[in-house]
Amino acid sequence: MVAHESDSGIVLTRQLVDEEYLGPGDVTIKVHYSSANFKDALAITPRAGVVRNYPIIPGIDIVGEVVSADNGDLSPGDLVVAHGYDIGVAHNGGYAQYARVPVDWVVALHGLSPRHAAVIGTAGFTAALSVQALLDRGLVPEDGPILVTGATGGVGSVSVDILSSLGFEVVASTGKTDADDFLTTLGASEVIGRLPEDPDERPRPLTKSRWAGAVDSVGGRSLAYILSATGYGGGVAVSGLTGGSELSTTVMPFILRNVALLGIDSAFVPIEQRRELWTRLSKDLRPQHLSKLEQHAPITEAENVLRAIQKGAHSGRTVFGVAGEF
Ligand SMILES: NC(=O)c1ccc[n+]([C@@H]2O[C@H](COP(=O)([O-])OP(=O)(O)OC[C@H]3O[C@@H](n4cnc5c(N)ncnc54)[C@H](OP(=O)(O)O)[C@@H]3O)[C@@H](O)[C@H]2O)c1
C-alpha cells in the first residue's frame, strides 16, 4: 500500500512494486502484520510534517519472519518486530508484503507471538516505556491511583492494561461516552471524562492531589491540569499531543510537590534498550488483555482505519494482516 501525495490529498494505493523499491537494509522481512497508529494516520494527513517525501509505504510497525539477513545473528524464519527510527516515515514500512531494514532496527521475538507483538506495536511499546518510567521513578501501587489519558487510544489502552496487570489502581480519562465497559474490562477502576473536567475553569498552579502519577498521550491543557493534580513525589510520563502540543504551566508542581515530568520517545530508543523492553513485554510488563484490545483488518482496509483515527473515532489497537491479505 503506497501513500501518494496529490493536489486532492494523500491516498493509499494498492500497488505492485519490485524488490528494489523496498530500499536499503540488510534484513528482508516477510510482513505478517502491521498496525494502525496515530503516526500512521499523520502519514496520510496533508501538511502533518511526519513524512517529508512521497510516495512511501507507510506502516511504522513491521512484524514478521526473516527471509534473508546479510549481517547479525538473524536467520531465515526468525520471528521479528521492527519499529521506530525512520520506519514508515522516511523508510518504507510495514504496509507491504515485504520490508527491508537495517539489522540494527530489528528485535527478535522471544516469548510473544507475532500477533501479540502486533497488537502491542509502537503504541504498546510506548505504553511500556511510560510505565517503566513511572516504575523507575519509584511509584508502587500503594502510592495511589495512576491516571491514563486518551485511554481508549493505542498508548492509553495498553497502558491501562499493563498498569492494572501490575496491581495499580487505574483512573482512565476518555472523551468517549460509551467506553466504560471497554476500559473496565482492561482493568480501569474508574472512568472519567477528558481533563480538566471544567474546560472554562481558570487553570491553577496546584490543586487537590488526585493521582500518584500519570501516563499522558494527550498533552496541551489537559497536561497542565494533570501536573497540578499530581501528588507529592509523583511522575507524569508524557508521550503525545492529541490534545495539543503547547504546555502552559507553572513551576509549582515541580518545586512544591517534587513532581517529575518524564519525557517518552519511542522512535530513537537505542536498540539494546528496545530489545530489553520487548523482553519485559513478554514477562513482567506483559499486557493481560491483548485479545480484548485487538481488532483485525486486512491491510487493504488501512486507509479506512486511519481515517477513523484522524476523526478520533477509533479505539484500542487495529492489527492489519499483511502477507496473504492483499
Ligand atoms: N512519543 C512517542 O514515541 C510516541 C509513540 C506513540 C504515540 N505517540 C503519540 O501519542 C499520541 C497517541 O498515539 P496513539 O497511537 O495511541 O493514538 P490513537 O490510538 O489514535 O489514540 C489517541 C487517543 O487520544 C484521544 N484524543 C483524540 N483526540 C483528542 C483530543 N482532541 N483531545 C484529547 N484527547 C484526544 C482519544 O482517546 P479518548 O477518546 O479515549 O479520549 C484517542 O483515542 C499521539 O499524539 C501520538 O503521536 C508518541
DSSP secondary-structure letter at 91?
B
Cell representation of residue 210 = 488526585
The C-alpha atoms of residue 156 and residue 315 are separated, in whole angstroms, by: 10
Nearest CA to ligand 1 atom 31: 243
> 44 is written with which cell numbers?
496520510
Residue 235: pLDDT above 90? yes
Which residue is associated with the grid cell 516504575?
Answer: 135
pLDDT number for residue 326: 86
pLDDT (mean) for 137-162:
98
**Ligand 1 pocket residue status of 266, Cβ below 6 Å:** yes
* pLDDT single digits (tens) 108-124: 999 999 999 999 999 99
Q: How far is the CA of 40 from the centre of ligand 1 (A)?
A: 12
Atom of ligand 1 nearest to the CA of 194: 41
Mean pLDDT of 182-202: 95
Which percentage of the chain shows pLDDT scores above 90? 96
For ligand 1, atom 9: residue with the closest CA: 240
Predicted local confidence at residue 205, as pLDDT: 96
- Assess whether pLDDT exceeds 90 at residue 18: yes
Question: What domains does the chain contain, in order, with CATH numbers?
Answer: 2-120+267-321 (3.90.180.10), 123-263 (3.40.50.720)
pLDDT for the residue 139 = 98
Residue 104 neighbours by CB distance under 10 Å = 16
Please determine, for residue 229, whether its predicted confidence score (pLDDT) is greater than 90.
yes
Q: Convert the pLDDT of each residue in 127-137 to its tens digit.
A: 999 999 999 99
* Mean pLDDT value of segment 33-41: 98
φ/ψ bin of 88: left (φ > 0), alpha (ψ from -120 to 50), beta (otherwise): left
Which residues are within 8 A (CB) of 141 and not within 5 positions of it... i.e. 6 or more apart?
166, 167, 168, 169
Query: Per the confidence metrics, is the pTM higher than 0.95?
Result: yes
Handedness of CA 101, 107, 108, 111 (dihedral sign): negative
Tell me: pLDDT of 243 over 90.
yes
What pLDDT is recorded for position 98?
98
- Any atom of ligand 1 within 6 Å of the Cβ of 28: no
Quick one: pLDDT at residue 166?
98
64 Cβ closer than 6 Å to some ligand 1 atom? no
Scan for cell 539489522, then name that residue.
103
**Residue 281 identity (one-letter amino acid):** L
Does the structure show a pLDDT above 90 at 71?
no
pLDDT of residue 186: 98
pLDDT at position 72: 82
- The response to whether residue 307 sits with its C-beta less than 6 Å from ligand 1 reads no
Written as nine digits, the cell of 149 is: 489519558
Task: Say what the pLDDT of residue 203 is.
Answer: 87
Q: What is the pLDDT of residue 224?
A: 97
Determine if ligand 1 sits within 6 Å of the CB of residue 153: yes
AA letter at 288: Q
pLDDT number for residue 97 = 97
Residue at 114: amino acid letter: P
Phi, psi torsion values for 95, nearest 5 degrees = -90, 45
Ligand 1 lined by 25 (C-beta under 6 Å): no
pLDDT tens readout for residues 267-309: 999 999 999 999 999 999 999 999 999 999 999 999 999 999 9
List phi, psi (to 5°) of 35: -155, 180
Q: Atom 4 in ligand 1: which residue has the minimum CA distance?
A: 239
Question: In sequence order, what DSSP letters do the residues of 15-66 get, joined into one string?
Answer: ----GGGG-S-SEEEEEEEEE--HHHHHHTSTT-SS--SSSB---SEEEEEE
pLDDT at 277: 98
pLDDT at 310: 96
Q: Are 91 and 22 in contact (CB under 8 A)?
A: no
Mean pLDDT (the chain) is: 97
Cell numbers that stand for 69 in this block? 539477513
